[in-house]
Structure 1
Amino acid sequence: MARSRFLPDNFTLTLVAVVTLASLLPASGRVAHFFEGLTTVAIGLLFFLHGAKLSREAILAGITHWRLHLLVFAATFILFPLLGLALRPALSLLVTPQLYTGVLFLCVLPATVQSAIAFTAMARGNMPAAICSASASTLLGVFITPVLVSLVVLPEGGAVASSSSLDAIGRILLQLLVPFVIGHLSRPLIGKWIQKRAAVLKFVDQGSILLVVYTAFSAAVIEGLWKQIPVSALLGLLLVCGVLLALALGVTTFLARRFGFNVEDEITIVFCGSKKSLASGIPMAKVLFASHAVGAIVLPLMLFHQMQLMVCAVLAQRYARRAVATTAAGLQGAK
């Protein structure tokens, strides 16, 4: 059982299979155009369903805990980009310029929603605050990430699809936020139906990501992705993702304790402040970057995503065991 925590989940194995398929049979010509259109529709449907699923109560719950939210947002949108830039001398020796651009893009992404909330629940943290922080991070990322891409990624030579951050924000609003808002407004009509059919949302969620990964890697393979990235750079990328995750977990834990948050709030800060969203990041990459560059740019995110799931699963169980031990000690003392 202990070893299973460190094994990739089924979705990660499927991602690897899709990358392999794109490497061997990349989509091109009319087939590529078909998949591009299908991917756009799938992403719009994904954010529509997420909007319909998220209740206003969940958005408002915990919103008054502003100190916690500020720390989470600072970790997500300030700490990570600073780490990516500060570690450039070391990172440049370990990865190719394309992969370093992907690392910077990873650093400017919003936090993930589902896994941050799930791990907070598993670790017995502050759930209302986790729901509020993770959801707000996703929504704010629609505006903040394109600006940070223009400030952090573009100066480093990222192959962006447009030099205007306002244009990028507009396209993200149209492709991601508009379906989300329409879905949320439709919640009174379809909210209960979606809540009872979580498998539908999961299928669309994972299916849209797989479509984007296939189209992105197909374009990248045709442009010679695997000829440009040596095995040593891939190994270096694993090390880079591990270092970034370790620093994020360490700094968020230190700051949570330094500012006097209780254990429940510390758990929320650690799990919300150290996550990066695959579900939001891959669609954003498709909008923000040139099609031939997306494959290499999302590769660091894919590796970081799996790494954060495995490490945080172990960390959440440690927090949960500590909470059980503390409760047991308190009951024993009461006797």
Structure 2
Amino acid sequence: MRILRLDPMMVKLLIVVLLATFLPAKGGFVPFFEWLTTAAIALLFFMHGAKLSREKIIAGSSHWRLHLWIMFSTFVLFPILGLLLVWWHPVNLSNEIYTGFIYLCILPATVQSAIAFTSMAGGNVAAAVCSASASSLLGVFISPLLVNLVMNIHSEMPGNGLEQIGRIMLQLLVPFVLGHLSRRWIGGWVERHRSLIGKTDQASILLVVYSAFSEAVVNGIWHRVGIITLLWILAGSVLLLAIVLIVNLLAARLFGFKRADEITILFCGSKKSLANGVPMANILFPAAAVGIIVLPLMVFHQVQLMVCSFIAQRYKKKNEAELQASESTGKAMMESQK
């Protein structure tokens, strides 16, 4: 069944985690990988900035009610649910795991998969491009502020909050802005080599994950995280996604959005970005804790792809059935008029 398939990126992430488990970076390789990881993060966000098209954003920016709700879902609803999960504390898991769930909840939406699923389901693609791109851009500003606010509430924010935000601005925002400002010169090349850019994105993320899990393995992550913990993380991810999808679906119908906009709200308002989350965690948290903290994000990433793929297929079949019924009705009317 298609819904049970792992996406290629998730398979690569699992391979990298296994590699870090059996062959972690140690000794003199650690400073080298720290430098390489910093460079990879800068390149990743430079490319994100270069890919951001102002024309596409302007094309879908007029639908302010839809965008406002998606931003509410991403940066308000999700963080509230994360805090409620920690307050509820249903299972005796480590503080790093619960921190990981809160961290997951404050991240911006993913771009590529949100747009792809919206297109597959017959949604408002222009609005999806606008919302997903705006979420990714605003996330560079909003997520660090939410980390400072929410993590302080949770008493898990390491170090000086303003210092952490400054590091994020320097390592993420500056390359992002430089990439976007460079678009007038490299925009054509970026458009022609989108597949190469995508591979660069993946390579950067995989490098950061390897570096993070190497440090975590050296500090005994697998002595603290077993199969039962992973199953609870999976259950928490499914519960979190289910609540967000249901709330977004009810809101879309309550506010009278058309089906195309409803689809956009579902897929853009329920996603969380692995591409933004892993590099940002590498800056925000102590190296020994990053591997555990990003586990909920990695599991949620796979869950959202599987569930949203199923939902998109359902919408697609429904649209095709309605189109076929409409064509049959039209033919019947034409024959009756003869």
Q: TM-score range by the shorter chain?
A: over 0.9
Letter in 2 for 1:10: P
TM-score by length of structure 2 reads 0.93
1:155 shift after superposition = 2.9
Aligned pair partner of 2:147 in 149, 161, 181: 149
**Structure 1 stretches of 5 or more lacking a match?**
none
Mean Cα displacement is larger for which, 83-92 or 34-43? 83-92
Deviates more, 1:166-175 or 1:247-256: 166-175
Q: Does 1:252 align with 2:248?
A: yes
1:288 aligns with 2:277: no
1:1-335 equivalences in 2 (<5 Å):
3-88=1-86, 90-93=88-91, 95-158=93-156, 160=158, 162-164=159-161, 166-334=162-330, 335=333
* CA distances 1:275-313 after superposition (whole Å, capped 9, x unpaired): 000000011111111111111110100000011111111
User: How many angstroms does 1:272 deviate by?
Assistant: 0.4
SS of alignment partner, residue 93 of structure 1: coil
Cα distance in structure 1, aligned partners of 2:189 and 2:145: 36
Deviation string 1:32-82 (CA, Å, 9 cap, x unpaired) is: 111111111112112222222222101212112111011001111111111
Structure 1 contact 52–184 (Cα < 8 Å) conserved: yes
Task: State the distance in 1 between where 2:142 and 2:106 align.
Answer: 8
Of 303-312 and 43-52, more deviation after overlay is shown by 43-52
- Give how far 1:225 is off: 1.3
Q: Give me the whole-angstrom Cα distance separating, in 2, the residues matched to 1:59 and 1:289.
A: 32
Cα deviation 1:84-131 (Å, max 9, x = unaligned): 122335544153221111011001111001110111111110111111
Contact 1:159–1:293 under 8 Å retained in 2: no
AA of the residue aligned to 1:113: V
Counting matched residue pairs gives 331
SS, match of residue 95 in structure 1: coil
Larger Cα Rg: Structure 1 or Structure 2? 2
- The answer to whether the 8 A contact 2:147-2:157 is kept is no
Structure 1, 110-119 or 148-157: larger mean CA deviation:
148-157
Superposition CA RMSD, Å: 1.5
Return the offset for 1:157.
Answer: 3.5
Q: Percent of counterpart pairs with the same letter?
A: 55
Equivalent AA in structure 2 for residue 271 of structure 1: F
User: For residue 300 of structure 1, what is the amino acid of its counterpart?
Assistant: P
**Are the equivalent residues in 2 in contact too, given 1:94–1:236 (CA < 8 A)?**
no
Q: For 1:97 and 1:72, locate their aligned partners in 2 and report how far apart those are by CA, in whole Å.
A: 29
Aligned residue for 2:108, secondary structure, equals: coil
Q: What is the rounded CA distance, in whole Å, between the counterparts of 2:268 and 2:95 in structure 1?
A: 29
Aligned residues of 1:99 and 1:296 also touching (Cα < 8 A) = yes
Structure 2 regions of 5+ residues with no counterpart?
A: 334-338
Question: How many Å apart are 1:159 and its aligned residue?
Answer: 5.1
Q: Which moved more, 1:278-287 or 1:171-180?
A: 171-180
Q: Distance in 1 between matches of 2:93 and 2:56?
A: 40
Residue pair 1:51, 1:184 contacting (<8 A) in 2 also: yes
